[in-house]
Chain A
């Protein structure tokens, strides 16, 4: 299957408009004020869906849908948010679990019907959905069964597994909705089955000129995971802290939504501009506590200063440099090209403020962007790192065109052979 950039953009807009319809319905019923913050299409490992839900308690409603598109969709609120909704629908209702449950189920039904109807209208087809099912759970367990039932038979010809690692990558449409003035979010996930989505995307795709073969997107995603693991290995070697790549995903979103991906927390890290095919920007970001921990683990002497000193920043700058190389070298070696990057520039700011100028620069040439997001974590100390890449869309497409799937595992260069 090939998917063209234009239809990815159209489908993203459709999901965003559906989320706006659903949010408007909720606002009308409750009097609460909410806005759709981000909508993106993500190609990711099925097992990683919902990672960002972490360990919070959620409630929501889930539907199965079938017809022109088939799959599952779910709307989830954190538990506190569900009580606020119940309270606004029926004063005093938030105090009763059964009333809160009933409120969530009803409002979810109305919201999600609007969401699905928008898709059906666009496709000029019927999409049937099941009655709403109330769901509750912790973190990603709230989502529909994320494991495919026939996981022992991963390579079944549906084109969705090319890794040989018994993983399955799927497209997920995710909208994040924020309540104005509250630190509460809720999410809409749409998990379409691969075949009907592929068929619809193929039908709505236009020129061949900007089409990307999806199997190569999947291979590229796997290369990105390898790059993240290599960066994690570099962290481990420099600090002695056992570090694992956790999530790696390739998303597609309007350029104006890109800064929202990183959020409003303060980060310390590095930014580099890379040139070659593809060109773009790459950020290695640590939350402030992680930056202090990781920098101190790199230093031979114990620090007696509190907080982030110049020495910490020097260490982070070098670590960011090495992690950047670990991340992009694999692409270069598989593509048999070189990807140069500028020396790392240290950043210490709110996430969105770091990404904003980079997205503006990339946005001079494109309306949507692919965003490569990776995370790594360790259990030893409080440490988390995120890598975000923002490649030029046209050049990424060119790189994927040139990508030989058979070479996808040749990410390492052999120094001994060359010297």
Chain B
């Protein structure tokens, strides 16, 4: 099963993502901001990061940029409420591999993951 790191400042959303993913994935960490996401990525080296954008301390785009700079093979899906075209372009520039907008349902999450980390 692929290892997944969840980065989201909302406890509610972390729980929701965990419930959606835990049947088919190993959740190796849940973090609340971009700094913790980068640190936990280095430590756990997961197959996939589900990354929120709007987070305190450091946002998800900056964290993605650092993760991808350190490891261009990293897989990062932005998992965010932000539906702005310019923000999506910033995410692409930072190296994001996929983008899903909240609110989401399980099929759209699984589809996005399958696109990035095919089983």
Contact = CB atoms under 8 A, between A and B. Distances in A.
B81 interface: yes
Interface in B55-100: 55-56, 80-90, 92, 96-100
Contacts of B97: 419
A415 B83 CA distance: 8
A374 interface: no
Nearest to A331: B84
B90 to A, nearest CB: 7
B10 A317 contact: yes
Contact of A419 (B86, B90, B99, B105): B99
A322 B88 contact: no
Given A321-B81, A322-B81, A342-B54, A238 B103 contact: yes
A300 B19 contact: yes
A161 B12 CA distance: 42
A44 to B, nearest CB: 26
A234 B98 contact: no
Contacts of A238: 103
A374 to B, nearest CB: 17
A418 B54 contact: no
B10 A418 contact: no
A318 B13 contact: yes
A328 B2 CA distance: 35
B101 A415 contact: yes
B21 to A, nearest CB: 15
Residue of B84, B88, B100 with most partner-chain A CB within 10 A: B84
Interface stretch (A13-21, A117-125, A333-341): A333-341
Interface residues of B, number: 30
A341 B11 contact: no
B44 interface: no
Given A314-B11, A321-B54, A418 B88 contact: yes
A321 B10 contact: yes
The binding surface of chain A is classed by DSSP as helix
B42 interface: no
A419 B81 contact: no
B102 interface: yes
Contact of A314 (B10, B81, B103): B10
Contacts of B86: 332, 336-338
Contacts of B101: 325, 415
A284 to B, nearest CB: 12
Contacts of B92: 418-419
Contacts of B81: 234, 321-322, 324-326
Nearest to A233: B103
B112 to A, nearest CB: 9
A324 B82 CA distance: 9
A416 B13 CA distance: 23
B31 to A, nearest CB: 14
Contact of B85 (A300, A324, A336, A343): A336
A415 B99 contact: yes
A318 B80 CA distance: 11
B9 interface: yes
Nearest to B92: A418
A332 B103 contact: no
Contacts of A298: 12
Contacts of B84: 328-329, 332-333, 338-339, 413
Contacts of A237: 103, 105
A234 B98 CA distance: 21
B49 to A, nearest CB: 16
A326 to B, nearest CB: 7
B42 to A, nearest CB: 23
B1 to A, nearest CB: 22
A314 B12 contact: yes
Interface in A90-143: none
18 contacts: A237-B103, A298-B12, A311-B12, A321-B81, A321-B102, A325-B101, A326-B81, A329-B83, A332-B87, A336-B86, A337-B86, A338-B90, A343-B54, A413-B83, A413-B88, A415-B101, A418-B89, A419-B98
Interface of B: 9-13, 19, 54-56, 80-90, 92, 96-103, 105
Given A322-B103, A326-B83, A342-B54, 14 more contacts: A238-B103, A317-B12, A318-B10, A322-B81, A325-B82, A325-B83, A325-B101, A329-B84, A332-B86, A336-B85, A343-B9, A418-B92, A419-B97, A419-B99
Interface of A: 234, 237-238, 298, 300, 311, 314-315, 317-318, 321-322, 324-326, 328-329, 332-333, 336-343, 412-415, 418-419
* Shortest beta-carbon contacts, A-B, top 10: A325-B81, A413-B85, A338-B86, A332-B84, A329-B83, A318-B12, A314-B12, A322-B81, A318-B10, A238-B103
